[in-house]
Structure 1
Amino acid sequence: QIEDIFDSIDDDENLLDIIFPITVTSGDFTEITINGLEDLRDLATDCKEGGDDDDIECIDFVYPMTMFTFNVNLEQTNTVEVSSDRELRLFFKDLDDDSLVSFDFPVTLKLHDETTIVVESNQELAIAIENAKDDCDEDDDDDYNDDDFNEDEFKEELVECVWFVTDFIRNDVDQTPQYVNYILNFKEDGTVVTGFRGATTVEGTWSSTVGDDGAKLTIDFESNTDFNLEWTVYDLGD
């Protein structure tokens, strides 16, 4: 929701003031109280970029659905209706070690392309999950404004167009008046040209990577060194 608000207007300055304490919900729905900015930074540092988790997001249960619990004698002990992933996760978390669980089939599942399938047994459920788990990009990297591009797409986007500088802030210093409307023309041979259109330009080199720590663009000029940096790329826009 915060990202949607930030994206709603392109030409404004977005500032987020967090009023502590806040509660952060982890992937397993554990709630963590964060009392200050340092605690939040520590938590963010521990968060694995790239989504090093075991959840499967290419297929989802359609809620509500009903679960049955049994004891070791196969006697039914409870009937529970769950209405969300959170309720389902907490239901399993609260089970005793010797509890047995069954779904009330049929169960409806929604695939990543919004189509649905119906399964009638545990075996069909297991097959459906196995078949779907690698069918989509699970978008686990949680980058702000992430467009889920790979390195080839990143390079193709760079060399396809001539880029214009609209904002330039480095080391908290706003240098936009100096560089606004500067061009950056990235070429397939790893060279890049910058300067004002129609004026003297400067040639340098560029390289890129896309990894667990996001997309990086390294630019190097012998002169005009303000551009020399490994830049973090958050978005490939239109």
Structure 2
Amino acid sequence: MKTLKLITVFALTAVLGFTSCQSEENTEVGANPNANSSTSPTASNFERASMNDGSDDDFLDGNACTELLFPLTATVNGQNISIISELDFSTVLEIFAEFNDDADNVTFNFPIRVRTSNYTEVTVNNQEELDALNAACENAEAEGRDAISCIDFNFPITMLTYDIALEQTGTVVLQSEKQLYTFMTGLQADEFFTVNYPVSATLSNGTTVQLNSDAEFRDSISDCVQFEEEEDEAATMAAEVEATLTNTQFKVQSFVNAGVNTAADFADWSIEFTNDLKLVAKNNVNATLSEIEGTYAVSSDTSVFLNIAFGSNNTVSALNNDWVIATYSDTMVALQSKTDASITLTFQKL
């Protein structure tokens, strides 16, 4: 899932009141040659970072530009689901997770309402209108008009305003992302501003940072965007690994612990990864031995992980671990322990 919010071409800027006042006691009173214009990189960064985030429901509408508004109903893999709040997202995800080799399908019961990146609410009457919104979102991304969702400001934020002569005209105290977006998009060509730093913000990796300048803000954006790109790459890799494993039987080609390769202990066993996230270990030499069942799960952050759980005190329980995907191909998956990189496991497709 892509975590970037995008501008949509279907909505107009929402009008929102905010606090503005004249001041002669600010630390920046007077002419300020470092004031930013409406077309400055700082203005663009704040505008993009304050857009409405529509990415949390992308698994439903596939559109990071739009936020679905509740209530709504949809048919999910043939099941009619009422979605009253974000709490109901888990029901949809559980349906998606039932099988990992099927094509998940969501059909909305129109009309539905959405909130766009610039906070305008729009009624979508049919699939064609929804497709048009999605196409506009894709075009905006292709044109580099993507928004930044990896940084959340901790309000309030105070802006100092200036006229074309760079003389201070007042202050604006902003209490929300919507107010910040409205301020930035409402700046005229003869209006300038500076940020009354420091500004506190929380990045998508959970880190809270204090920004002390436009340059620090720019660098924080660069860092968190890179982090999200790494997350996106890992998510793509996780899907590829899961597809490689699903409905396939493997043998243990290598299992190294404390420098000793014990793959021979599993030579008679095949390991099948089913499409409902189950594991089945079967002895292919001695048919009298019962199959051993377990579970698996593929996940990711900036790396890709495979959890294997066969229970305890059985022939294959030594394979239990939280593994990191080291390398993989269509026929092989190589793993190393999340807690001890010296412990490695390689599965070879049968």
After TM superposition, the score normalised by the length of structure 2 is 0.37
1:97 aligns with 2:189: yes
Residue 92 (structure 1) shift:
0.9
Residue 17 (structure 1) shift:
6.1
Aligned 1:134-149 pairs, distance under 5 A = 134-137=226-229, 148-149=235-236
Q: Tell me the residue number matched to 1:114.
A: 206
Aligned-pair RMSD on alpha carbons? 4.2
Code of the aligned partner of 1:24: V
Counterpart Cα distance in 2 of 1:100 and 1:122: 14
Residue 31 (structure 1) shift:
3.9
Partner of residue 162 from structure 1, selected from 273, 278, 289: 273
In the alignment, structure 1 segments of 5+ residues that lack a partner are 141-146, 167-182, 186-238
The 3 A distance-change label for structure 1 pair 157 and 103 is farther
The 3 A distance-change label for structure 1 pair 62 and 165 is closer
Partner of residue 241 from structure 2, selected from 117, 136, 153: 153
Query: Could you report, residue by residue, the CA deviation over 1:41-69 in whole angstroms, capped at 9, with x for unpaired residues?
Result: 43234432996552223333222211122
Note if contact 1:29-1:89 (Cα within 8 Å) is conserved in structure 2.
no
Note if contact 2:153-2:202 (Cα within 8 Å) is conserved in structure 1.
yes
Residue 163 (structure 1) shift:
1.9
1:67 aligns with 2:154: no
> How many corresponding residue pairs?
163
Code of the aligned partner of 1:163: T
Note if contact 1:57-1:138 (Cα within 8 Å) is conserved in structure 2.
no
Partner of residue 217 from structure 2, selected from 109, 125, 131: 125
Give the secondary structure class of the aligned counterpart of 2:227: coil
Counterpart Cα distance in 1 of 2:218 and 2:123: 36
Query: Could you report, residue by residue, the CA deviation over 1:174-216 in whole angstroms, capped at 9, with x for unpaired residues?
Result: xxxxxxxxx9x9xxxxxxxxxxxxxxxxxxxxxxxxxxxxxxx
Counterpart Cα distance in 2 of 1:54 and 1:17: 26
Code of the aligned partner of 1:38: E
Residue 118 (structure 1) shift:
1.0
Counterpart Cα distance in 1 of 2:223 and 2:108: 43
1:7 aligns with 2:90: yes
Give the secondary structure class of the aligned counterpart of 2:228: coil
Counterpart Cα distance in 1 of 2:231 and 2:175: 23
Greater RCO structure (CA 8 Å; 6+ sep):
2
Residue 96 (structure 1) shift:
0.9
| Bigger radius of gyration | 2
Note if contact 2:158-2:171 (Cα within 8 Å) is conserved in structure 1.
yes
Residue 89 (structure 1) shift:
1.4
After TM superposition, the score normalised by the length of structure 1 is 0.52
Code of the aligned partner of 1:59: I
Counterpart Cα distance in 2 of 1:139 and 1:117: 20
Code of the aligned partner of 1:133: V
Partner of residue 84 from structure 1, selected from 150, 159, 176: 176
Q: Tell me the residue number matched to 2:134.
A: 44
Q: Tell me the residue number matched to 1:58.
A: 150
1:34 aligns with 2:124: yes
Aligned 1:212-223 pairs, distance under 5 A = none
Residue 103 (structure 1) shift:
1.0
Aligned 1:217-232 pairs, distance under 5 A = none
Counterpart Cα distance in 1 of 2:193 and 2:141: 28
Residue 84 (structure 1) shift:
2.6
The 3 A distance-change label for structure 1 pair 157 and 100 is farther
Counterpart Cα distance in 1 of 2:206 and 2:120: 28
Note if contact 1:62-1:108 (Cα within 8 Å) is conserved in structure 2.
yes
Note if contact 2:153-2:201 (Cα within 8 Å) is conserved in structure 1.
yes
